Amino acid sequence: SLRWLYSSQSDYESLHRIVQEQLQQTGTPDPVVLKDAGLAATFTQRHAEAIESYRAAIDAGYADENGLCHFNLACEVARLGEKEPALAALSVAIERDEDFAEKARNDDYFAQLWADRDFRLLVAGLKQAPEAEEVERAISHSLGYQMRGEGEEAIERGEFAVAGAELLGDERLRARALRQLGQVLTYHASPERGRAVLREAVTAGDAVFTDEPLERARTLHSLGQCEHAAQAFAAARESYTAALELRRATQGEVDFEVAITLGDLARLAGDRGEPEEMLSLQVQTSDTLHAVLETQEGDDRLDTLLNLGLNEGNRASTALSAGEPAEGVLQRAEIATQFLEELSAADGRVPASALLRLRKVIAEAAGKEPELGERAFEVAHRLFVLEFPDPVVRQHKLYWNRLRGAAFELLDMGAEETEIAAAIARAVRGDEA
């Protein structure tokens, strides 16, 4: 039909004209035409007309087997902030296709309802309170999905945890669930959405964690990270500082979370264009982490060693950007490498991104002072060993890197690709000629 043709080509103005002409004809309007009229009105920003058409289609008996008409109606009504009719239509849509719950979580038309308790319950699929242990598991699973970069699953579990805690009436559990959901939304939806939920988490935490300052500090720190991601730098500084004060008052100066907050404040200072403040905070971070490391044993040391390596690498990068002598930059990179080596020796995982950043810093420092080349090569080789601990794998990497380098040299000399391929084949076979 013409309606299908135009809608499939997204020519909604033409579709709108056609369906309006058909609706003006005598007789009872076809429910499908009414549904198409709503669709055309939605996509041409005629929102009031869209609501009227969707409702008329449903009242006229449009089957809406896939739930799309009800979902579109819910979108339009939610946009106006009309909660009850929006949730009623969305409920029907979800009954017919569960995927609409996920769509509602992410569709800006529902933005005014995202923080609403009843909306959360609906999209979480909860009609009765779960067990508290189930909510605890949902918080844990959400964090696990977040760490693996599986955003949709992390958000879904976070929404479930918040809705479940609200049904249980457990305000402590709700405050923790809100914090986890806010963190996930920050990095897997948008900082703006995460910020709204984390503010709610701060308010909830202030009420229920009156005797647990570290819980309040964790939420404030999460809010600071969210505001940092949103480039709301002044607000982020305020939240980080509030978290830092609570942690220091409770744990003292020698505390891992104090060091983490100092590190985030250092990164914030860098983003604010305050290099001197950044360097000062990086030094404080290192001093705190060193002190913490002296109190730890076994696996407790792993996170501290990792953060010492990362922070010393940041200090090397800061020194390089500030134009400090290359020898000092290289010395700082050596210290960072030493901590990462200790981490690797203790069976900790060394992030490839940290190794790559250190290699770049070392290469730039050596480029400024060629006489440091041998020392820089030694540090770079230590990083290479960290990246590929298996000596056989390292030999393969070195072999293919040299072979690739020789191939590029042949290309520069004007050799044909077929000749290069033949030379590589001979090299692999061990042929001399």
* 5: confidence class by pLDDT, cuts 50, 70, 90: very low
d(CA 255, CA 300): 12
Tens of pLDDT, residue by residue over 366-424, are 999 989 999 999 999 999 999 988 888 888 887 777 777 777 887 888 888 888 788 77
Question: Contact at 8 Å (CB) between 52 and 66?
Answer: no
The pTM for the full model equals 0.74
**Environment class of residue 149 by beta-carbon count within 10 Å: exposed (0-12), middle (13-18) or buried (19+)?**
exposed
Domain extents in the chain: 2-124, 390-433
Question: What pLDDT does 12 receive?
Answer: 77
Tens of pLDDT, residue by residue over 41-88, are 998 899 999 999 999 999 999 999 999 999 999 999 999 999 999 999
d(CA 293, CA 283): 15
Question: Contact at 8 Å (CB) between 87 and 122?
Answer: yes
d(CA 80, CA 226): 28
Four-CA torsion 340, 346, 348, 353, nearest 10 degrees:
20
Q: Is 297 left (phi over 0), alpha (psi -120 to 50) or beta?
A: beta
Tens of pLDDT, residue by residue over 244-263, are 999 999 999 999 999 999 99
Determine the 3-state secondary structure of 298 from DSSP: helix
| pLDDT for residue 188 is more than 60 | yes
| pLDDT for residue 281 is more than 90 | yes
The CATH architecture of the domain made up of 2-124 is Alpha Horseshoe (1.25)
How far is it between the farthest Cα atoms of the chain?
91
DSSP-derived letter for residue 128 is S
